Chains A and B, each alone.
Chain A
Amino acid sequence: AFIKAQKAKPYFKRFQVKYKRRREGKTDYRARIRLINQDKNKYNTPKYRFVVRFSNKDIVAQITSASIAGDMVLAAAYSHELPRYGLEVGLTNYAAAYCTGLLLARRVLKMLEMDEEYQGNLESLGEDYSVEPADSRRPFRALLDVGLVRTTTGNRVFGALKGALDGGLDIPHSDKRFAGFSKDNKQLDAEVHRKYIFGGHVASYMRTLMEDEPEKYQSHFSEYIKRGIGPDNLEEVYKKIHAAILADPTAKKTEKEPPKQHKRFNLKKLTYDERKTKLIERLNALNSAASVDEDGDEDDE
């Protein structure tokens, strides 16, 4: 049957596209405006965002400030750097998010030479900890930017937030969304949160699987088993990694070879000057060919 085209030319002529990053579904401009807006009477003072983003296999934590040319990243930490500190599996869980946040915080403080003053939370992890301002400098302040994630209690972005807080950054927060906050009690259960930070939830799942479905345990946690990580020593593994991070948080540049030149399948676009010179050459050639037949010169303009 003939179906009339619904979206005709006037529809497209009047269509206003959303911003590119909105079309890609990557940026929430409502939130971004509110995060970036700096008081005008603070002039060029940067307002730092603690950006946490999750992909399927990686965690990205950055400290960013906005500028008209583009956002400037002060420091970044990725969970694919955690193998350097000894964690090779489970790179996107709550505990890994905590490690990444911690790594970023220590990295930034070391970069700004504030790491002696602000040691952060060294024991009693799990409780709500806020940085105390030291005598000489005020703590490094950043605002949490979750992106488009639904902020439910126990979300991994808050694991990264806790890592950054314990690392010594000043990020305004409340403990309402940390793992272990009970809505009935209206209180954060520090023990439960501590369990999550050290992968306790992963360990208890491991134990349940080992009892009920050992084959699934073998297939699901094969990488853990290969490295000899079981539900009992999971906590120690994370403790060691935290210590390693606190010891040396500096970023290491990876050696990359220069990108290889690919064969071009289409013509390279010419610049304005190149196009103008080409035109003049063509006109000259045309005129010289024409003046062979005719008398008199013609101008190139």
Chain B
Amino acid sequence: MPAGHGLRSRTRDLFARPFRKKGYIPLTTYLRTYRIGDYVDIKVNGAVHKGMPHKFYHGRTGSVWNVTKRAIGVEINKQVGNRIIRKRIHVRVEHVQPSRCNEEFRQRKLANDKLKAEAKARGEVISTKRQPQGPKPGFMVEGATLETVTPIPYDVVNDLKGGY
């Protein structure tokens, strides 16, 4: 009979718990709070059967649009044919991790705000834009010795080993 295409088909390894991490899941997952607008990663925890997303969403990152008693509503982009649809799914908190995708941005925002405030106190105008890495500066090559490499003349007797 042909292979089925059920909800959890082809998820034998995807939803499996990692080696030596089976059993109770650490309590931090239950203690985290999520607010609307946070970015979260979806990573299915095979030990918890309720509130599992479809395997497509495993490894996707989306933003929170709803918070309910035990689950989070996440908005994920999915390409369907020639367009990208914004899909809204509800996932239990065990299958969700806070995403670090905008952590660097948030930290940079805080640091820039501080820099701007300090510059304003001094009365200067500064630019906090990131600059791309420019070309490397020039340098003199030091301590180089010249070694001339010339081809050696072809020696028939030596090169034909045992085949002559």
Q: Chain A residues in contact with chain B, CB under 8 A? A: 14-16, 18-19, 29-30, 32-33, 36-41, 43-44, 66-68
Contact = CB atoms under 8 A, between A and B. Distances in A.
Contacts of B24: 19, 29-30, 33
B7 to A, nearest CB: 24
B93 interface: yes
Contacts, number: 46
A37 B30 contact: yes
Interface residues of B, number: 20
A36 B22 contact: no
Nearest to B70: A40
A66 B31 contact: yes
A7 B2 CA distance: 43
Contacts of B68: 40-41
B98 to A, nearest CB: 11
B68 to A, nearest CB: 6
A292 B17 CA distance: 60
B71 interface: yes
Interface in B68-88: 68-72
A43 B33 contact: yes
- Please provide the 10 A-B residue pairs with the shortest distance between their CB atoms, ordered closest to farther: A16-B20, A39-B69, A29-B24, A41-B67, A40-B67, A37-B30, A43-B33, A68-B31, A68-B28, A44-B33
B31 A16 contact: no
Contact of A43 (B21, B35, B72): B35
15 contacts: A14-B20, A16-B20, A18-B23, A29-B27, A33-B24, A33-B27, A33-B30, A36-B27, A37-B30, A40-B69, A40-B71, A41-B69, A43-B35, A66-B27, A66-B31
Contacts of A68: 28, 31-32
B158 to A, nearest CB: 39
B34 interface: yes
A9 to B, nearest CB: 15
Contacts of A15: 20
Nearest to A39: B69
Contact of A40 (B21, B23, B72): B72
Interface centre among A32, A41, A43, A44 (most CB of B within 10 A): A41
B28 A16 contact: no
A21 to B, nearest CB: 11
Given A33-B30, A38-B30, 8 more contacts: A32-B27, A36-B30, A39-B70, A40-B71, A41-B67, A41-B69, A43-B67, A68-B31
B23 A16 contact: yes
Contacts of B70: 37, 39-40
Interface in B1-46: 20-24, 27-28, 30-35
Contacts of A37: 30, 70
A153 B71 CA distance: 37
A15 B31 CA distance: 28
A31 to B, nearest CB: 11
A103 B137 CA distance: 74
A142 to B, nearest CB: 18
Contacts of B93: 40
A29 B70 CA distance: 18
A75 B149 CA distance: 84
Nearest to B35: A43
A33 B93 CA distance: 13
